[in-house]
Every structure is written in structure tokens, then in C-alpha cells.
Amino acid sequence: MTEAAERAWSTTAAMFRLITGFWVSQAVGVAAALGIADQLEGGPRHGDDLARAVGADPDALQRLLRMLASLGVFAEVAPGTFGQTPLSETLRSDVPGSLRAYAMMQCAPGRWLPWGRLLDSIRSGRPMAREALGMEHFAYYAQHPDEAAFFNAGMAEVSAWAAGEVLRVYDFSRTRVVADVGGGHGSLLAAILRAAPGARGILFDLPRVIATARPGIAAQGLADRCELVAGDFFEAVPEGADLHLLQQVVHNWDDAEAARLLGNCHRALPPGGKLVLVEMIVPSDNRPSEAHLMDLNMLVNLGGRQRTEAEYRSLLQAAGFRMERAIPTQTPFYVIEAARS
């Protein structure tokens, strides 16, 4: 092959891999849903044995695992026998660093079907949940408790990923009461309360989320230091905290909705109170960043957006906050600190 032909081929191959990226995503999601990584906890197993254990067609499962192993998710340690790799370890349930629920959530219809309408989003500038799911994003989860369980668990997995870094770069030790607004199952709040034993917490989310959050908070021995409050943050946010934490919440909303939410935080916080956002920031120089993909995810599902640092500054200023710092972490997330004026 000539050098020019080789270059053309590798460019075509690179584009082929980009185009078929959604095949990979679905394959990972299926391995997660079947619980293959949990089945390999005791060591490598033959594909036929795994198929019996998870209720799959032996030939189809072999082909799935062969494909995933070619990408480093599982390893084919002997013909037809598969074992764990560092990547497949992240598909185990309930282990530090697990992304199993996140994989299931991203590949389930609630996320998958709106992404199939991305073209319509790009043409119209609008989210496609209503067209693809028949209702808005969070209303869909209210109607589909199974998917909502993966959604909440998946968000908690990503929170746990960010939590160590948030605590490394931000000192919560002088905070009296932290309110985790749209806090889901309170994974980050729990980590903060463990690191700052003098602080108390308020976990605030929609009623159906709060209804399933209590066991997790209690299991961590935090029931007496954490109040669980159900409500709608577009109506009001609980008072009594000196710091409001919003992790991956503002990005769900367009500027007008985000302004309403931040305005409610402003009303509930005392003067000088702190607002801490944990978000991916879109780099101003367009270098590679997970923020770009997340930005489209927000557009197609919710009509929200990832923002640049300058966009956060003006959004916060308009709601009566002075942005003080945007602290990078060793994850895609930044800790954005603002003070209520």
C-alpha cells in the first residue's frame, strides 16, 4: 500500500470508529444490564456458562464478549473463556469506581431515544424528550421507576467519582449547614458530611427521589445529621443552610430556568452565604473535553447546556451572586464557588 493510500485508509477507519460509536455504547450497556462483570468475580468463565447464568443465547453472548474484549472490556483468556480487565471491573455493582448503573441509564430508552432525534434538536435548538418519550425528561423518570432507579444510582456513581476531588480542592470544614439542591440520593452530600463532622445537611430533591433516598443516608449513619426535604426547586429552596451545593443541576436547564433556580437559592441563603456548583466547564479554546459531549446530552434531553467560565460568571451575577473561583479537579468537573451578595 502506498503511504497516501495507508493514510486514506486509516482516516476512513478512524471515521468508521466514530460513526459506529453507538454500537459500542449499547454493547457496554448490555454487558452492564446482564451483570456479566459480577458473574466474573470468582475468575474467568466460559461464555456458555455465562449465558446459562444470565439467561442469554450462548452464541450471541460469545459474540458480544468477543467484541467487547477486542476493546479491552473483558479479556478472552482462553478460546471462548472470558475474564475481567480494569475496564470491565467498572461494570461491577457496588464497588468503588463502578459505572454499571450509569451504563444502564445511558443505554436505556429514556436517554437513547432522545439521542436518536439529535438531528431534530440541532435543527430546532430544542430538546427531544417530548417527541421521543411523549413527555419531559424528569416526568419520564417519574413514570418509569425502573429507569429512574438506574438514573439515581448512575448519578450517585458519577458523584462518587467526583466526590474525592471535590473534597480535595474545597474546604467544607467551616460550613454549618450544607443544602444539596437537586442532590439525588445525596452521594456527594454524604461524603461532605463524613469529611466535616461538625456540619449538618439538607438533601433536597423531587418527592419521588427523596422517597427512595432515605435508606442510603441511614446506611451511612447520617440520618441524624441530614434532613431530607422534598419539593420543586423552581418554586422554592429550603432555608437554613449557609452553603448551597448544586452538582450537575444547573447544566440541566436553559438560562431562563437556571436563573429562576439560582434566584430561589439567593432568596434562601443569608447574605454572604456560599453557592458551590460542581459542573463540567466548556473550555474557551475548544480543546478536547467531556464538557462538549455532555453539552449535546443536555441539549437533546433537557434543553440545558454546559457553559464556559464566562457564561457561569454572568449567569451567577444576574442572580445576585459574585463568582469567586472555578477550581479544576482531576475529573472533568470544576468546583465553582460564588458568594451571595
Please identify, using beta-carbon distances, which residue of 40 and 282 lies nearer to ligand SAM. Answer: 282
Helical H segments across 70-186, by residue range: 86-89, 100-107, 109-115, 118-124, 129-133, 137-143, 145-169
**CB count, 10 Å around CB of 70?**
10
Told to check if 156 binds ligand SAM by CB under 6 A, we report: yes
129 counts as binding ligand SAM under rule CB under 6 A? no
* Contact positions with ligand SAM (CB under 6 A) in 267-296: none
Which residue number is nearest to ligand SAM in terms of Cβ? 182
Beta strand 243-247 with 226-230 is unpaired
Yes or no: say if 192 and 178 are a contact pair by the CB < 8 Å rule. yes
Q: Which residues are catalytic?
A: 251
Q: Rule CB under 6 A: say whether 222 interacts with ligand SAM.
A: no
Nearer to ligand SAM, 45 or 274 (CB): 274
Q: Is 138 in the site for ligand SAM (CB under 6 A)?
A: yes
* Site for ligand SAM contains 191 (CB under 6 A): no
Residue 178 lies near ligand SAM (rule: CB under 6 A)? no
CA distance 290 to 125: 21
Binding test (CB under 6 A) with ligand SAM, winner from 91, 103, 155, 222: 155
Determine the residue type at 315. L
Nearer to ligand SAM, 113 or 261 (CB): 261
Q: Does 140 bind ligand SAM (CB under 6 A)?
A: no
**82 has which bridge partners?**
45, 76
59 contributes a contact to ligand SAM by CB under 6 A: no
Contact in structure between 273 and 244 (CB atoms under 8 Å): yes
Least distance between ligand SAM and beta carbon 248 (Å): 4
* Residue closer to ligand SAM (CB basis): 47 or 154: 154
Residue 234 makes contact with ligand SAM by CB under 6 A:
yes
Q: How far is the CB of 156 from ligand SAM (least distance, A)?
A: 6
47-50: Cβ within 8 A, 24+ apart: 47/80, 47/81, 47/82, 48/80, 50/82
E-only strand ranges, the chain? 45-46, 75-78, 81-83, 177-181, 200-205, 226-230, 243-247, 274-280, 321-328, 333-340
For ligand SAM, the binding residues (CB under 6 A) are 138, 155-156, 159, 182-184, 187, 205-206, 209, 232-234, 247-249, 252
